[in-house]
Structure 1
Amino acid sequence: MEEREVVRSLAALAQPARLQAFRALVVAGEQGLTPGAMAEALGLPASTLSFHLKELANAGLVTQERESRNLIYRAAFGQMNALMAYLTENCCQGLACLPAAKPCADC
């Protein structure tokens, strides 16, 4: 991942509503969520959520797919993992960090 992509991703997440929307999509997993379900869960107007989802999509953090008459948004787990890898690439000068994080069984 290039530095400019990292900056774009972090900038997109540096807003409370976008961070909440992204986290909701991470929790939803591969099933994803419709904008209506997200707006209701987050207590955001649809137009506001649409703006935030567009920003997350521009940063490559979410994907959008049409299923029948619905739009489904999903977290872009590959991009999220690339961002995390970039941020932790040189962690602790290559030594084991404390406390050690438990590996994700589904990742």
Structure 2
Amino acid sequence: MGGGEDSGERWLRWLWEHASIFLLRPLLAILFVFSLILLSWFVAWKTVLVHVPLVQEICGLRKKPVKPKPTNLHRISRFYHSNPSLSYIREYHHEGATL
């Protein structure tokens, strides 16, 4: 009379083992892979992708304002022209002398 309960327990054990092998483990593996993908995407987004101008334009992210270039870019030549003690360099350069 007790044999029926034993076969029922075996049936539940068999059902649980097959359910865990064919349903639970693949589901957990898929969730693990997706979590790794999402984590790596988040790290890439925070470190690299937000600095790419194309991504900023597509996502509508705020770009830093672009500063216009100053008109006086020739700082070194201004230094030589403003210093009278370096006049010999200007004269040498204007004469067209080559080394």
TM-score per shorter chain, which class? under 0.3
TM-score (norm 2): 0.24
Structure showing greater relative contact order (alpha-carbon pairs closer than 8 Å, 6 or more residues apart): 1
Higher helix residue share: 2
Q: Which of these two proteins has the greater Rg computed from alpha carbons?
A: 2
